[in-house]
Amino acid sequence: MIKAPVSAVSHVITVRPAKSEDVPLIFENIGYWAGQGKMLVRPMQNIFENLRDFFVAEIETPTGKEFAGNGALHILWGDIAEVRGLAVRPDIMTKGVGKKLVEACEAEARRIGIPTLFAWTYSVGFFEKCGFTLIDKSKDLHPRVWSECLRCPFFVGCNENGVAKRLEGIPIPHNLPEPPPAQVPPGIR
C-alpha cells in the first residue's frame, strides 16, 4: 500500500463508490485490521461479489489522491442495513476518514429508504460519535442480523458490540413483510 507521510496529508477527504481497481487496496486494508483482531478477514472474492456495497475514501496529497479507507453498506432487510468492512488506513486514523465513510453509508441508506443502520464493532466510542447507540445484543437484535451471525466463525463466544442508529425522517416501509426466522444450526444454543 502506498503511504504518504502524515505531514504531507492535507486531510481533504472525499468518498465515492468503490471501483474494481480499488479491490486490492481494500483487501490489503481489511487484511491488516483483521490481523490486528479488529475485524473479520474477507476473501478477495467476497469483496468483488459485494463491491457495489463498498465506498472508498481518498485524501488529497501533493502528488494526487490516495486511498484512505473503505466501508460498506449491506442491506439485511427492508428496514435495516449493516455498516461493515469499515477500515481506515492505519497511518491516517482519527483524521475524520471513518466518519466520512459512515456518512456515505447513511446517505445511501436514506436514498434507498432504509430506516435503521446497524454495526458490529469493538469501537463503540467511534460509532457513538457517528450517532449510533449501543444495543443489548441478548435481546435487541433484528432477526436478519442474527441470521448473519450464525454464519460467522466467531459466533460462539463473540464479544463484539452491536450498535444501531435510527435515521430520522426515514419511515419504516409500509409494506414490509416479516423476515424469515433465524435458522439455528445444530449444536448451537
Ligand X SMILES: CC(C)(COP(=O)(O)OP(=O)(O)OC[C@H]1O[C@@H](n2cnc3c(N)ncnc32)[C@H](O)[C@@H]1OP(=O)(O)O)[C@@H](O)C(=O)NCCC(=O)NCCS
Binding residues for ligand X, rule: CB under 6 A, are 33, 38-39, 86-88, 93-99, 119, 121-123, 125-126, 129
Q: Minimum distance between the CB of residue 122 and ligand X, rounded to whole angstroms?
A: 6
Q: Which is nearer to ligand X, 88 or 114 (CB)?
A: 88
Rounded to a whole number of angstroms, the minimum distance from the CB of residue 180 to ligand X is 25
Cα 139 from Cα 64, distance rounded (Å): 47
Nearest distance in Å: CB 188, ligand X: 23
The three-state DSSP-derived secondary structure of the chain is CCCCCHHHCCCCEEEEECCHHHHHHHHHHHHHHHHCCCCCCCCHHHHHHCHHHEEEEEEEECCEEEEEEEEEEEEEECCEEEEEEEEECHHHCCCCHHHHHHHHHHHHHHHHCCCEEEEEECCHHHHHHCCCEECCCCCCCCHHHHHHHCCCCCCCCCCCEEEEEECCCCCCCCCCCCCCCCCCCCCCC
Nearest residue (beta carbon) to ligand X: 98
135 vs 186 by CB, closer to ligand X: 135
Largest Cα separation within the chain, whole Å, is: 56
At closest approach, how far in Å is the CB of 52 from ligand X?
19
Is the CB of 27 or the CB of 33 nearer to ligand X? 33
The least distance separating ligand X from the CB of residue 120, rounded to whole angstroms, comes to 6
159/175 with CB nearer ligand X: 159
Q: Which of residues 129 and 166 has its CB atom nearest to ligand X in the complex?
A: 129
